[in-house]
Chains A and B, each alone.
Chain A
Amino acid sequence: MNNVSESKRAVALPSWLLQGVTISYILLVVLFALAAAINPHYASWDNIRNLLQIGAFIGVIAVGQTLVIITGQIDLSVPWNLTFSAILMATLISHGTSTPVAIAAALASGTLVGMFNSIGTAIFRIHSLVWTLGTNALMQGATLVYTHAQPPKVDVPPFIRALGAGNLWGIPVPLMVWIVAAIFALVILHQTRFGRYLYAIGNNESALFLSGVDSRKVYLGAYAISGFCAALAGIMLTGYSSQTYLGMGSDYLLVPVAAVIIGGTNIMGGSGGYLGSISGAMIVVLLQSVLSTVQIQEAGKNIIFGSIIIVLLLLYGREKLSTH
């Protein structure tokens, strides 16, 4: 099917140029150039560092989200999974638990929630859109019960603060965390058997199953990583804002998904990769940043943000016309 539509193209462009990943990087450069042309401050190292720092939060979440979306599923439990993990950590610290143990507990909690997501999607075969939203509601409830809607007031330890806002040799620590996470994602996706299984599930789960792979375990791995990433982002955000609060995850329901899709990963699964998600995350952050500096109302920002996503997708996110 692909071959047919490729050969029908009137102008033969090299195939790598038509890939979502390439286009998303070109777009990122163009958008950045535009922003810098309007306001030279954008090209300053201070601003770039700031963008990368904020991009790190979305980028880390996008690691898990990319893996899950490649399998053809989605993880919409990030906001409250992230919030619960962060608040769990903060509460433990306020009770005198040592920082490493508290961080480990937060990561474990996030991973467990991720595994719970895979129970519904892989074993009960409930559409992940619905199930992970259910998990999100569940974690919202758990957070409210756990905190009685009063997140703990806690002195965030220096190590966690460094994770979210620190600088090492002039480079933001969150960016370093993101780089490590990105390398992890790229290795997983392209160098491991597990990574190949992720793509295989997205393309044809039945075929993978018939070749003797228990696809449920693959889902388990993808969702566990996604939960882990959400918790990690929660820890970094706690450090970034030096506190935990109930709404800290609310920006991370759909924005990471948008980043992954803008990066050229097919929402139906089977193709794409983390390289695109990196530029997707930066495009989203750049858009949000530009929109927050121009003096328009919240309403206008919503409209512009939504419109730009649609325009980007019209540019390169279109499905091929079915030829049969």
Chain B
Amino acid sequence: MIIERYYSSLTAVIGLVLLAILFAYIQPMILSPFGVTMSANQGTTLALAALAQLVVVLTGGVDLSVGAMVGLTNAIAATYMGTHPAIATLVIIGTLFAGTLAGFVNGLIVAYGRIQPIIVTLATLYIYTGIGLVVRPQPGGSVPSGFANALTGSWGYLPYGLIFLLVVVGVAWVPLMRSRLGRAIKAVGDNRNGARVSGISVARTELWAYTAGGFFAACAGIFLTAQTTSGDPTIGTSYTLNSVAAVVFGGAVLGGGRGVALGPICGAYFLSLLISVLFASGVSPFYQNLLQGAILVIVLAAANVWRLRTRHWLNVMSN
């Protein structure tokens, strides 16, 4: 049963393992504590962004503003954190609040404005990037070194970044998904009218799903701040598309209802590791974009061929 539950994640898990083995074969130095930590840290921001995307995708929507929220929270954290630990803590809480608020606004417009999520989040992408630019017109800022070390350091082979991700999953994701709201989120994504007639408030469910998305995006922004030790409101751009790719590669269905966190997280690490592997195997930078795009496209096609094989063409269409 547990295998059935995580079956959709299989592609991403196997892909990640194979890629890690390939990486270790090309570059054995990666198996040092430093190498493991570096690889993990590169993927953690995207993994958190993928969670932000997943909670929205589960309702049947899509959030194009994930990257903007990551950039906005990154800008806020790096601008106001200063050096004093107490202030830094307050700023982290404030950053989480800001991200959550951004998600809340998305949810409010989607759920009660009844506008298509893709176009709402496209508009808020501009708004949040704009606010980020108000907070921090030029890239820069600083963070306490203790804060950066606490998130990006490691204990032997165990990177703190991975622990941070596990804490977010354990404290926020799992309780959310196990709660009444979590079940409502999946129900709404699976069958809106079915959810409505069984007494679930679709609008309220969507509102809180987007709000949760904002919270996870803020977590990604905070980790990114620790990783880059600076703020840049436009740094998040690539996270929007990559988070969607990670979520789809991780077995969640755009259209809603199905998906577990494991797949998208592995998908996120897969995508970020891919860049390192290409870099390590000495591929010219000009070819890296091309290969990255090609691999993404091939993987998506291959993952879907399996789905097509097992279904009638008409079933495929209604999805």
Hey, which bits of chain A sit against chain B, CB under 8 A?
74, 120, 124-127, 129-131, 133-142, 144-145, 148-149, 205-206, 209-210, 215, 254, 257-258, 261, 267-268, 297-307, 309-310, 313-314, 317-319, 321-322, 324
Query: From residue A323, how far is it (CB to closest CB) to chain B in Å?
Result: 10
Residue of B nearest to A205 (CB): B317
Mind listing 19 A-B residue pairs with CB under 8 Å? A125-B316, A127-B255, A130-B248, A130-B254, A137-B289, A137-B296, A138-B290, A140-B289, A141-B291, A144-B286, A209-B317, A267-B118, A300-B134, A303-B126, A304-B130, A313-B113, A313-B120, A313-B123, A322-B192
Residues in A with CB closer than 8 Å to B245 are: 130, 133-134
> Which one, B62, B196, B286, contacts A148 given CB within 8 A?
B286
Stretch at the interface among B9-17, B87-95, B178-186, B297-305: B297-305
Interface string of B111-145 (1 = CB under 8 A from A): 00111101110111111011111100100000000
In the complex, whether B85 has a CB less than 8 A from a CB of chain A is no
Q: A206 and B123: CB pair below 8 A?
A: no
Among B133, B197, B289, max chain A CB count under 10 A is at B289
With A125-B316, A133-B244, A310-B113 known as contacts, the answer to whether A144 contacts B290 (CB < 8 A) is yes
Query: From residue B214, how far is it (CB to closest CB) to chain A in Å?
Result: 16
> Which one, A138, A302, A305, A314, contacts B113 given CB within 8 A?
A314
Q: Please, how many angstroms separate the alpha-carbon atoms of A145 and B289 in the complex?
A: 9
Residues in B with CB closer than 8 Å to A309 are: 119, 122-123, 126
Q: B304 and A126: CB pair below 8 A?
A: yes
Q: B118 and A142: CB pair below 8 A?
A: no
Residue of B nearest to A310 (CB): B123
Q: Please, how many angstroms separate the alpha-carbon atoms of A302 and B314 in the complex?
A: 42
Residues in B with CB closer than 8 Å to A137 are: 241, 289, 292-293, 296
With A141-B294, A322-B196 known as contacts, the answer to whether A215 contacts B300 (CB < 8 A) is no
Task: State the majority secondary structure of interface residues on B.
Answer: helix
Query: From residue A88, how far is it (CB to closest CB) to chain B in Å?
Result: 15
In the complex, whether B198 has a CB less than 8 A from a CB of chain A is no
Residues in B with CB closer than 8 Å to A300 are: 130, 134
Residues in B with CB closer than 8 Å to A319 are: 114-116
Q: A120 and B116: CB pair below 8 A?
A: no
Q: B317 and A206: CB pair below 8 A?
A: yes
Q: Please, how many angstroms separate the alpha-carbon atoms of A262 and B55 in the complex?
A: 27
* Chain B, interface residues (CB within 8 Å), range: 35 or more
Query: From residue B176, how far is it (CB to closest CB) to chain A in Å?
Result: 24
With A313-B119, A319-B114 known as contacts, the answer to whether A297 contacts B126 (CB < 8 A) is no
Q: Please, how many angstroms separate the alpha-carbon atoms of A306 and B65 in the complex?
A: 11
Q: Please, how many angstroms separate the alpha-carbon atoms of A291 and B62 in the complex?
A: 28
Which 7 A-B pairs rank lowest in CB-CB distance, beginning with the nearest?
Answer: A141-B290, A302-B130, A306-B126, A137-B293, A299-B133, A141-B289, A303-B130
Q: B297 and A120: CB pair below 8 A?
A: yes
Q: Please, how many angstroms separate the alpha-carbon atoms of A260 and B319 in the complex?
A: 24
With A130-B248, A209-B313 known as contacts, the answer to whether A267 contacts B119 (CB < 8 A) is yes
In the complex, whether B155 has a CB less than 8 A from a CB of chain A is no
> Which one, B129, B131, B289, B319, contacts A144 given CB within 8 A?
B289
Interface string of B244-258 (1 = CB under 8 A from A): 110010000011000
With A130-B245, A299-B133 known as contacts, the answer to whether A310 contacts B300 (CB < 8 A) is no
Q: Please, how many angstroms separate the alpha-carbon atoms of A307 and B248 in the complex?
A: 29
Residues in A with CB closer than 8 Å to B313 are: 209
Residues in B with CB closer than 8 Å to A318 are: 113-115
Q: A302 and B317: CB pair below 8 A?
A: no
Q: Please, how many angstroms separate the alpha-carbon atoms of A120 and B302 in the complex?
A: 10
9 A-B pairs besides A120-B301, A130-B300 with CB distance below 8 A are A124-B308, A127-B254, A130-B245, A133-B244, A139-B293, A141-B291, A209-B317, A298-B130, A299-B132
Q: A299 and B196: CB pair below 8 A?
A: no
Q: A141 and B288: CB pair below 8 A?
A: yes
Q: A138 and B125: CB pair below 8 A?
A: no
Residues in B with CB closer than 8 Å to A134 are: 245, 293, 296-297, 300
Residues in B with CB closer than 8 Å to A321 are: 114
Residue of B nearest to A134 (CB): B297
Q: Please, how many angstroms separate the alpha-carbon atoms of A206 and B316 in the complex?
A: 9
Residue of B nearest to A313 (CB): B115
Residues in A with CB closer than 8 Å to B123 are: 258, 306-307, 309-310, 313
With A127-B248, A129-B244 known as contacts, the answer to whether A254 contacts B316 (CB < 8 A) is no
Residue of A nearest to B115 (CB): A313
Q: Please, how many angstroms separate the alpha-carbon atoms of A322 and B188 in the complex?
A: 14
In the complex, whether B83 has a CB less than 8 A from a CB of chain A is no
Q: B118 and A129: CB pair below 8 A?
A: yes
Q: Please, how many angstroms separate the alpha-carbon atoms of A74 and B118 in the complex?
A: 11
With A130-B248, A205-B317 known as contacts, the answer to whether A258 contacts B122 (CB < 8 A) is yes
In the complex, whether B98 has a CB less than 8 A from a CB of chain A is no
Q: B137 and A299: CB pair below 8 A?
A: yes
Residue of A nearest to B318 (CB): A206
